[in-house]
A and B are shown apart, each in its own frame.
Chain A
Amino acid sequence: MSTPSEISPEDFAALCRRLDLALTAEEAERLRAAYAAMQAQLRRIPRPETFFPEPATVYAHPGSKLTAEKAR
């Protein structure tokens, strides 16, 4: 089984079909390369060690006074 960053053209084509992405061969190759780069980038994001950290959302201001007070 290949890792996401090494996804084969065949597996990538299957993934794109599942997502209903209609691509030309050139587009598919560019997107596959970008996907590999994106996967590498996404691996930078650590997974929280507890269940609790909540996401930033549109309804909770990420830089709000409340956030600032919590940080202290």
Chain B
Amino acid sequence: MTALHHTTLAAAARAIAARELSPVALTQAYLDRIAAADDRLHAYVLVAKEAALAAARTAEAEIAAGKYRGPLHGIPLGIKDIYATAGMRTTCHSRVLLDHVPGEDAESLRGLKAAGAVVLGKHATHEFAFGGPSHDLPFPAARNPWSLEHTPGGSSSGAGAAVAAGLCAGATGSDTGGSIRGPAGNCGVAGIKPTYGLVSRRGVFPLSHTLDTCGPLAWTSEDCAHLLQEMAGFDPADPASVEAPIPDYASEIGRSVRGLRVGIVRHFYAGRDGAAPETVALIDRALSVWRDLGVSVVDATLPELADYHAVGRAVVLSEAYSIHKPHLHRAPELYGQYSRERLRLGALVTAEEYYQAQRYRRVLAERTVKAMDGLDLLVTANSYGAAERFSEATIFPYFGKPYLSMPFNLTGQPALAICCGFGAEGLPRSLQIVGRAFDDATVLRLGHAYEQATPWRGRRPPI
């Protein structure tokens, strides 16, 4: 029998709707799990036990009174600590904001709470979603529940670790160059970077205004669909927000994938200096699964991965430095070493280099969209291999293999990371499913179909 803390969000929602599961019991199960495992995982920087139980009791009373709000009613979530939480400390995992208590919730969190979600607490992150995994911050770095010597990835590190280990039913993350998809992949969970503009960023601490995207992580694509439903929506106070129709994501994923046309972007990861053969083979097997479900798969060619990476790096470094410069110059000692040194690199990007990067970004976006002519989706690797060890982390990780996730931050397209198997050492591997702008529903549908057809969602980390 599945432990309560390992029930999927969707299954828990069905049980709550049928009044077979108490939101208070579910919240208590996660709090017990946090108490039992988080001293090793460090996925949380703050656990709001009393507030969570109070919210769960309210949800339970509302449901008992016939005021059921929907699938997130009474569902316990963890919130990345760069999301503003009204009356709850929001530190960005940094000494710079150690005593910061916002007056209002981030807009996307407001949507989750309005749907009845319960906030368990705040998740660890790389400092300001940028500097990590660092060991000189006010809270320890989150660890990977599949192997504590390995990182969970970043920057939504606590979110990935907590979802995988059953320390919450779902989580919020943010993705500027892969910060949802990296931890999702390393921790073997699902995580979607929605279309840029779909989810409000208001109240979420910025890293790079033209790339930052907020989205969910959860055990399955279906769980992510439920979370995205309540996070998405037009926000006139967010200059990047787009007034787009919001489909019923959870209903959409139930549709057949037969007839979908997928382009596999092999040149990003296969070949010399690419992903390990084991990863390549697991993605090939995933393609076979989809073919068996009636999906047509053809090769697709995009611009060179290194071009996207170079453009993305110039943009992130410049914008992050611009955001942090006043604080960084006034009190550099309050930043961890990784943030401090990485941010300073942004000072060295000239205005001309930044502007040319943004110009070429548009060219790359147009070429990417054109490469999708006749295709519904793209698939490519999400990582080259297993999560790195803490001992392998470096201050400047930008000059090795190009980031597989960066292209779709630049183009703004939705991109979902899902687990596609495990390596010989027992760590998860992952792939990305990429859609057309605002077609997040089809992305989630292909992910859901794969998860339904494969055994990976039945395997949890040993912690």
Residues in A lying within 8 Å of B, measured CB to CB: 15, 19-23, 27, 30-31, 34-35, 37-38, 40-42, 44-48, 53-59, 61-65, 67-68, 70-72
Q: Check A35 against B348 for contact (C-beta < 8 Å).
A: yes
CA gap between A40 and B332 in the complex, in Å? 27
Residues of B within 8 A of A20 (CB): 329
CA gap between A55 and B355 in the complex, in Å? 7
Given contacts A41-B313, A53-B362, A61-B196, contact A30 B240 (CB under 8 A): no
The residue of chain A having its C-beta at the shortest distance from the C-beta of B315 within the complex is A56
CA gap between A57 and B197 in the complex, in Å? 12
Q: Check A44 against B369 for contact (C-beta < 8 Å).
A: no
Task: Please report the total number of B residues contacting A with Cβ < 8 Å.
Answer: 52
CA gap between A15 and B195 in the complex, in Å? 38
Can you show 21 pairs from A to B with CB atoms below 8 A apart?
A20-B329, A34-B396, A34-B399, A35-B345, A42-B314, A42-B349, A47-B356, A48-B360, A55-B362, A61-B197, A61-B242, A62-B196, A62-B411, A63-B369, A63-B413, A64-B242, A65-B437, A65-B438, A68-B436, A68-B437, A71-B367
Q: Check A63 against B341 for contact (C-beta < 8 Å).
A: no
The residue of chain B having its C-beta at the shortest distance from the C-beta of A22 within the complex is B332
Residues of B within 8 A of A34 (CB): 341, 345, 395-396, 398-399
The residue of chain A having its C-beta at the shortest distance from the C-beta of B437 within the complex is A63
CA gap between A65 and B348 in the complex, in Å? 35
A27 to chain B, nearest CB (A): 6
The residue of chain A having its C-beta at the shortest distance from the C-beta of B347 within the complex is A19
Q: Check B357 against A45 for contact (C-beta < 8 Å).
A: yes
Residues of B within 8 A of A57 (CB): 210, 358
CA gap between A43 and B303 in the complex, in Å? 16
CA gap between A56 and B349 in the complex, in Å? 18
The residue of chain A having its C-beta at the shortest distance from the C-beta of B372 within the complex is A68
Question: Of the candidates B341, B365, B396, which one forms a contact with A56 in the assembled complex, judged by CB atoms under 8 Å apart?
Answer: B365
The residue of chain A having its C-beta at the shortest distance from the C-beta of B348 within the complex is A35
Residues of B within 8 A of A55 (CB): 355, 358-359, 361-362
Cβ-based interface call for B311 (8 A): yes
Cβ-based interface call for B344 (8 A): yes
The residue of chain B having its C-beta at the shortest distance from the C-beta of A19 within the complex is B347
CA gap between A34 and B396 in the complex, in Å? 7
Q: Check A63 against B359 for contact (C-beta < 8 Å).
A: no
CA gap between A10 and B382 in the complex, in Å? 41
Question: Of the candidates B349, B356, B366, B370, which one forms a contact with A38 in the assembled complex, judged by CB atoms under 8 Å apart?
Answer: B349
B341-381 at interface with A (beta carbon < 8 Å): 341, 344-345, 347-349, 353, 355-363, 365-370, 373
Cβ-based interface call for B209 (8 A): yes
Residues of B within 8 A of A21 (CB): 344, 347
Residues of B within 8 A of A44 (CB): 306-307, 310
Q: Check A38 against B348 for contact (C-beta < 8 Å).
A: yes
Given contacts A56-B210, A72-B373, contact A31 B359 (CB under 8 A): no
B15 to chain A, nearest CB (A): 38
Residues of B within 8 A of A42 (CB): 310, 314, 349, 353, 357
The residue of chain B having its C-beta at the shortest distance from the C-beta of A20 within the complex is B329
Given contacts A41-B399, A54-B359, contact A71 B311 (CB under 8 A): no
Given contacts A31-B348, A38-B345, 9 further A-B contacts (CB under 8 A): A27-B341, A38-B317, A41-B398, A44-B306, A57-B358, A58-B210, A58-B239, A62-B362, A63-B195
Residues of A within 8 A of B360 (CB): 45-46, 48, 53
Q: Check B369 against A68 for contact (C-beta < 8 Å).
A: yes
Residues of B within 8 A of A70 (CB): 366
The residue of chain A having its C-beta at the shortest distance from the C-beta of B399 within the complex is A37
Residues of B within 8 A of A58 (CB): 209-210, 239-240
Residues of A within 8 A of B357 (CB): 42, 45
